[in-house]
Structure 1
Amino acid sequence: MPSPQTAPYDWILAITSIAFIFSAFGNGANDVANSYATSVAARTLTMPQVGFLSMITEFVGAGSPGPLMLAMGCAEVGSATWLMLATTWGWPVSTTQTVVGALIGTGFASQASVKWAWESGSVSQVAASWFIAPLIAAAISALIFGTVKYSVVERKDPFKWAMRLIPYYFATTASILALFIVVEVPTAPSLEEFGAGKAVGIILGVWFGVLAICYIFFMPYFERRLIKKDSRVKFYHAPLGPLLRRENPPLYFPAKEDGKYVTDYYENAYATAEAAVSEDLKVETSSSSSTTPDIVNLEKGKLAEPPRPRGPIGPVERFLDPVRSLPWTSSKKWLGYGKFALLQGVTRDCVSHDSARLRDVHSRAAKYDLRVEHLWTYCQVASAMLMSIAHGSNDVANAVGPWVAVYQTYIDGEVSTTSPTPVWILVIAGFLLGAGFWVYGYNIVRALGNKITQMSPTRGFSVELGAAVTVLLASRLALPVSTTQCLTGATMGVALMNYDFGAVNWRQLGFIFIGWMLTLPSAGLIAGLLCLMALNTPHF
């Protein structure tokens, strides 16, 4: 039951709850999407409350719960609005800094003091993280990719070296994942309480355990699929282990033997289509050369434009076009529109591109053995999990923080800076984050994937692992960083390992940096103006 002191402000809780839904949705569409952008771009995968109130000290006083609720509600609205706009424009912005900017705006509106000096949780530290976090992530990711590059992919026989070293890369990645779970999972005790000895024991146990699993189960699977080129063998056959070395292994649910045993991780559907169109035009031109040297549009008197190359079909063509002509009484039409509503966000092509600039950028990146890239897809799944854990430990509570402040103040009737977060709201937030990525995450996946540089599993693995390690180190050192900025910097670091500045799409990086610069003032302006108007209306 709410406190009598805050009962008149139930409308603030209602509005804040609506804004919270959009904020969590935008968080999922923006931050969760950028966590998986490199995995999608590489074709490996198919598509804190603490610190919020510390940014603004002595907000409006413990005796003024109503204005606090209003200010936090406006911060939630400002954060949600900017996140949705940035996601629409394809800007991978920091949700942490979005909420911070919104809180600064409401702090100005309510005449609260704001931390500007260089201290923990201050605005100056947030601004400094725009430069520090990407540079650290770039250095770590470049080091990781350099290790992969010179130990495997650029050696004389890269596939042979990949088969020798992949178990150790597996084991090392899994042990880092175990370290993250020990240190970062909210239910786990702190590293000091847990004990360094136990942590080291778990990490070493995971390393040797995964190494044994790789040699017993994964290596026979890789040999069967990549050396014997048996396209019937899929990942779910790995538990057969040594049986896969037989001449005729007992495969359950074998796949079709189509001869495609490895994915082309550098394929661009638009480039393929463009080549096909060019070939068709050559045939048409040669067949009509006896009558006229040009293809003339007699009605308009202009040269006919060559047909535009088509990439993968989109959700409109896939789900809506086949049922447009059907009457609304047809169940097939309703099914088509239902599929579009549920699947339009995850059936869009986020990998291919129809851009001469990007084709030039990608052409400057080295293309490695596809079998080696395939081996690293399994490492990249683990690195994507690492990035997800880093995001969860660093950013997930962004949308929850202001709402919890409003909810707890509404229930208690007083201001508290140590409000516990209800478990049920974390469950709802997790669902909304997933829904945000599912419906609207494709914009950010496109922006952070192949639009910066050529992605592949070896590169994507290095980006995600480097960014995740950066977030872990920063959280242990209490430094304010953004997973978005760490991923962007890591991508740039891996791209520069091509030793060619032309292998980086600097214009796209410029757009992303502009989005970072606009985040604090934009979210703050929206939230601050709303709070200022609400605080100064006659009826409040």
Structure 2
Amino acid sequence: MVLHQFDYVFAIGIIFAFLDAWNIGANDVANSFATSVSSRSLTMMQAMMIATVMEFGGAVLVGSRVSDTIRNGIISTSKFTKEPAALMLGMMCALVGSSMWLTFATKMGMPVSTTHSIVGAIIGVGIATLGKDGVQWAYNDGKGVAGIVSAWFIAPAIAGGFAIIVFLITKYGVLERKRPLRAGFMMVPFYFAVTAGILTMVIVFKGAPSLDLDELSTGQVLGAIFGVAGSVVLLYGIFFLPFLYRKLELEDWQLKTWEIIYGPLLWRRGPVPPRPEGTAVVQDYYRGHKTKADLTTTRGAADDIEHAAAPQIDAQSSEDGVKRGSSEASPAEKNGEQTLEAHEQEALGPWYTPRNLFVKAKYYFFRGVDRDVVSEQNAIDSANFLAGDLDKMHAEVKHYDNKTEHLYSFLQVLTAATASFAHGSNDVSNAIGPLTTIYLVWDTNTIAKKAGVPIWILVFGGAAISIGLWTYGYNMMRQLGNRLTLHSPSRGFSMELGAAITVILASQLGLPISTTQCITGATVGVGFCSGTWKAVNWRMIAWIYLGWFITMPVAGIISGCLMGIIINAPRWSGVAA
């Protein structure tokens, strides 16, 4: 029996579930792609296109199982059996509380955990309706509050451990060798196989409900994992190896990326013509990052100039807090970002003409991807207390062979895609779990102990996440990345693979951990591999942890107060005679 009298609760739930999922994309997208963009392995446009496909795919294919944990594990739904509509209302308030806090945090540039937010919001609803005893505080097979909280502390350590292992193998097995490029050619197939196997595992291990893979036997699952891993290694040998060998070993400066499709034919291509002066084979992944020697020389010269003559230009404070001379360009202009005013200068005639509407639509659609995030990180950091001395921190990190780093940029794209898929599978539950409860109660007026998540809800959540990361994901990307420690393709690959392994394991166990904590733990772990704690920005780490600590209580207070006000409000019964 459909509860049409509560259509408005269902409608409000859909609106705030979309806002919650939008914020998941806008806030958490940096977890998967900040490392790739910060190390220059991917441009913003490339990152967003890959992320859209992988986030949506992860949400739709394997998001169902984790959503079930969020819906049933934190508060006991059996206590709402006599009043199913009250559970609808509670989940609506939880979505309001979670999405409102996430919107504020995202706007303020605070990379908080979206998992923390929805858990705190549901706890607030449980206390408002059932009291403190209505919340499952115990471990509850990893699904209660204690189980989830314990995962928040354990996950960063596990992710950091995996990342350290991967990077140390890479460091001493490849980067520190006398011929690192040759060692890289030998190691990369192994990494391709491992990463491909992990991505396959998340799809078939215990089955993806929406693909009806639950019936696969253990042998079939293992066959699929090793089969895909072997196929990827075969593709590497046929297409990637000849391309990379000619590009990096022979330094073919004329070779284009699309020519990878020639595969074995590249072995038979003629000798490489002389390279023109000033032509680079690959980009400099350490561009703009100084070594200790560079930093000493640069700052010594700057001190001499400062003592020789005082600055003559008065500094002005801009709206974003960065001090600059009156003759300087804005940060947007410096970073190559075209402002709305610049777009409006292209307009001719009234604003409602098709051409002018197209100009504005193009600006708003691409403003989130038409940015140089690495430059923005440096521009923001110049007057930001949390940034500290980035040049000094980056100087603590050793620079490795640039061509070998390029070899790992391909792996980093694969690991970023894997991490993005895992993120979609894990974090979509934060928004669609409460929405699924609202829908099922509205549609049946009952509370089922076990019910599958409708496919349209998974698609809805995946689409909202993709829209969020496409339109505002850049804001979080510039808060992380090189602001935590110096990134390069080899380091970013290790961070992403360590975090992805942790998130995927949690997803298969039905435990909604925080992807933010996983990538943070992995980043700190790789930073430690530089041999000094000075290679990590501890101010930013402390800021991130502060956001985690206050997220649960703030979201819980918002949702709990809203639920308490509604259920205890006086009811209007009409005008007395």
Q: What is the TM-score with the length of structure 2 in the denominator?
A: 0.81
- Residues 1:508 and 2:552 aligned together: no
Give, in angstroms, the shift of residue 410 of structure 1.
1.3
Give, in angstroms, the shift of residue 333 of structure 1.
4.9
Alignment check: 8 A CA contact 2:290 2:395 kept: no
* Residues 70-115 of structure 1: CA deviation (Å, up to 9, x unaligned): 1111111111112212222222222222111111111111125111
Cα distance between partner residues in 1 of 2:277 and 2:441: 63
Give, in angstroms, the shift of residue 162 of structure 1.
1.4
Of 503, 519, 525, which residue of structure 2 is paired with 1:493?
A: 525
CA RMSD after TM alignment:
3.4
Of 444, 448, 456, which residue of structure 1 is paired with 2:476?
A: 444
Alignment check: 8 A CA contact 1:324 1:333 kept: no
Report the counterpart of residue 500 of structure 2 in structure 1. 468
Report the counterpart of residue 119 of structure 1 in structure 2. 140
Cα distance between partner residues in 2 of 1:269 and 1:155: 23
Give, in angstroms, the shift of residue 249 of structure 1.
9.5
- Residues 1:205 and 2:223 aligned together: no
For residues 302-317 of structure 1, the aligned pairs below 5 Å read 313=333, 317=338
Alignment check: 8 A CA contact 1:74 1:530 kept: yes
Cα distance between partner residues in 1 of 2:449 and 2:111: 30
Report the counterpart of residue 38 of structure 1 in structure 2. 35
Cα distance between partner residues in 2 of 1:132 and 1:538: 45
Where in structure 1 are there 5+ consecutive unaligned residues?
251-255, 286-291
Pair 418,202 (structure 1): closer, same or farther in 2 beyond 3 Å: closer
Q: Which amino acid aligns with 2:342?
A: D
Report the counterpart of residue 288 of structure 1 in structure 2. none
Of 14, 18, 31, which residue of structure 2 is paired with 1:17?
A: 14
Give, in angstroms, the shift of residue 419 of structure 1.
3.9
Cα distance between partner residues in 1 of 2:413 and 2:225: 19
Q: Which amino acid aligns with 1:196?
A: T
Report the counterpart of residue 288 of structure 2 in structure 1. 268
Give, in angstroms, the shift of residue 501 of structure 1.
0.4
Alignment check: 8 A CA contact 2:347 2:356 kept: yes
Cα distance between partner residues in 1 of 2:183 and 2:330: 38
Which one is further off, 477-486 or 16-25? 477-486
For residues 524-535 of structure 1, the aligned pairs below 5 Å read 524-535=556-567
- Residues 1:50 and 2:68 aligned together: yes
Report the counterpart of residue 162 of structure 1 in structure 2. 184
Pair 295,397 (structure 1): closer, same or farther in 2 beyond 3 Å: closer
Give, in angstroms, the shift of residue 200 of structure 1.
2.9
SS of match in other structure, 1:110: helix
Report the counterpart of residue 386 of structure 1 in structure 2. 418
* Residues 431-488 of structure 1: CA deviation (Å, up to 9, x unaligned): 1110000111112222231111111111111111111111233344555522221111
Alignment check: 8 A CA contact 2:105 2:111 kept: yes
Give, in angstroms, the shift of residue 327 of structure 1.
5.2
Cα distance between partner residues in 2 of 1:72 and 1:504: 39
Report the counterpart of residue 456 of structure 2 in structure 1. 424
Cα distance between partner residues in 2 of 1:266 and 1:416: 55
Of 75, 83, 86, which residue of structure 2 is paired with 1:64?
A: 83
SS of match in other structure, 2:67: coil
Pair 430,478 (structure 1): closer, same or farther in 2 beyond 3 Å: closer
Query: Percentage identity across aligned positions?
Result: 39
Pair 506,328 (structure 1): closer, same or farther in 2 beyond 3 Å: farther
- Residues 1:343 and 2:363 aligned together: no
Cα distance between partner residues in 2 of 1:25 and 1:398: 11
Alignment check: 8 A CA contact 1:180 1:386 kept: no
Cα distance between partner residues in 2 of 1:475 and 1:293: 60
Give, in angstroms, the shift of residue 370 of structure 1.
1.3
* Residues 221-269 of structure 1: CA deviation (Å, up to 9, x unaligned): 112222333333223211212222344599xxxxx99833212222239
Pair 297,509 (structure 1): closer, same or farther in 2 beyond 3 Å: closer
Pair 446,270 (structure 1): closer, same or farther in 2 beyond 3 Å: farther
Q: Which amino acid aligns with 1:97?
A: H
Of 121, 128, 141, which residue of structure 2 is paired with 1:102?
A: 121
Alignment check: 8 A CA contact 1:60 1:68 kept: no
Give, in angstroms, the shift of residue 171 of structure 1.
2.6
- Residues 1:403 and 2:435 aligned together: yes
Pair 247,407 (structure 1): closer, same or farther in 2 beyond 3 Å: closer
Give, in angstroms, the shift of residue 422 of structure 1.
1.9
Give, in angstroms, the shift of residue 136 of structure 1.
0.8
SS of match in other structure, 2:16: helix
Cα distance between partner residues in 2 of 1:461 and 1:420: 35
Pair 401,476 (structure 1): closer, same or farther in 2 beyond 3 Å: closer
For residues 211-222 of structure 1, the aligned pairs below 5 Å read 211-222=233-244
Pair 60,499 (structure 1): closer, same or farther in 2 beyond 3 Å: same
Aligned length: 516
Alignment check: 8 A CA contact 1:28 1:432 kept: yes
Alignment check: 8 A CA contact 2:21 2:461 kept: yes
SS of match in other structure, 1:387: helix
SS of match in other structure, 1:71: helix
* Residues 193-226 of structure 1: CA deviation (Å, up to 9, x unaligned): 4233233333333333333322222122112222
SS of match in other structure, 2:97: helix
Cα distance between partner residues in 1 of 2:417 and 2:497: 9
Alignment check: 8 A CA contact 1:130 1:516 kept: no
Alignment check: 8 A CA contact 2:80 2:86 kept: no
Give, in angstroms, the shift of residue 16 of structure 1.
1.3
Report the counterpart of residue 482 of structure 1 in structure 2. 514
